[in-house]
Amino acid sequence: MADKYTIQTNLKNTLTETHFEGFEKLHAGKVRDTYQKDGKRIIVTTDRQSAFDRILAAIPFKGAILNQFSAYWFDKTKDIVKNHLIATPDPNVSIVKKVNIFPVEVVVRGYITGSTDTSAWFNYEKGIRDFCGVQLPEGLKKNQKFETPIITPTTKAEDHDEKISAAEIISQGLVPEEKWKQIEEYALAIFKRGQELAAEKGFILVDTKYEFGEDEVGNIVLADEVHTPDSSRYWMADTYAEKFNAGQEPDNFDKEFLRLWFKDHCDPYNDKELPPAPDELVSELSYRYIDIYEKLTGQQFEYLTDQSINNRIQTNLDKYFAS
């Protein structure tokens, strides 16, 4: 089970920047750094914690959890749609196929919730009922379940994601209509699989985002990450109804409580400098990520604290490409 002592003694042992000899660095994203070698793409998942289009903190072991969580879900959904994963030679590293990513994030929501300006509840509270081309009914309460899951896409942008409808995606030529319809079908099927498997372990998969691309022959491929606590919201199933009926926030396993702390202590969208995240919140988030990984996948997380993360990754990448 998740080890709070190991987490607390490794608060500074985090992967925030990456540099690997012998590999070409292509891009540093909010959380992932991308390299290439010998025609293969290498994705390194760091411990950077992103929200509000900013880096809020570094969370111990988070990168390894996200990478291994995605590997688990790629395996569990590969019968629905192909994915880009080839191998995971290190807990923080995925070797993936090169795919052309569509410039749209496919957000699937099973419940109306959220605190960011692209979230369903944030917009609903402001009176918006046409949300990303989906007509929302009157009278919804925060954290209420939709009758059926909805797709509310956003554009992919370095600085800030923007809401967009399916009709706009097609009219702007971001994704061809036929492919977009197929992507919607895949997204809903993957989300359904995720909800079913999460429910078996006592969790509610509330909402999530997917990224899709095309391979060299035009096949649609699932990429990036799948059902991680970074890309998804999870609630405890056994206390949801009680909390919802009492107007309280559900017991959650995602980064929402960290988002809420920053919203209470600053303006995370506009303040030039943000206050440092308290150690107890950083430790709690790390604990939650590890806890849900172990409970949902049934696999025990290995902490691997005997060497620097960068050195370990360099060694494992060298071994992988040498073989």
pLDDT digits (tens, 9 = 90+) for 76-93: 999 999 999 999 999 999
pTM above 0.75, yes or no: yes
Say whether pLDDT at 107 is over 80. yes
CA distance 42 to 33: 8
Q: What is the CATH number of domain 101-245?
A: 3.30.470.20
Confidence at 1, pLDDT banded by 50, 70, 90? low
pLDDT for 3: 86
| Domain ranges within the chain, ordered by starting residue | 4-98+281-322, 101-245
pLDDT for 79: 98
Query: What's the whole-number mean pLDDT along residues 163-169?
Result: 96
Contact 42, 313 (CB under 8 A): no
Q: Which fold has domain 4-98+281-322?
A: Phosphorylase Kinase; domain 1 (3.30.200)
Helix axes 279-297, 62-77, angle to 10 degrees: 30
> In this prediction, what percent of the chain has a pLDDT beyond 70?
98
Query: What's the whole-number mean pLDDT along residues 165-177?
Result: 97
Say whether pLDDT at 109 is over 80. yes
Contact 167, 134 (CB under 8 A): no
pLDDT digits (tens, 9 = 90+) for 62-78: 999 999 999 999 999 99
pLDDT for 260: 83
Which residue type, as a one-letter code, is found at position 178? E
pLDDT for 198: 98
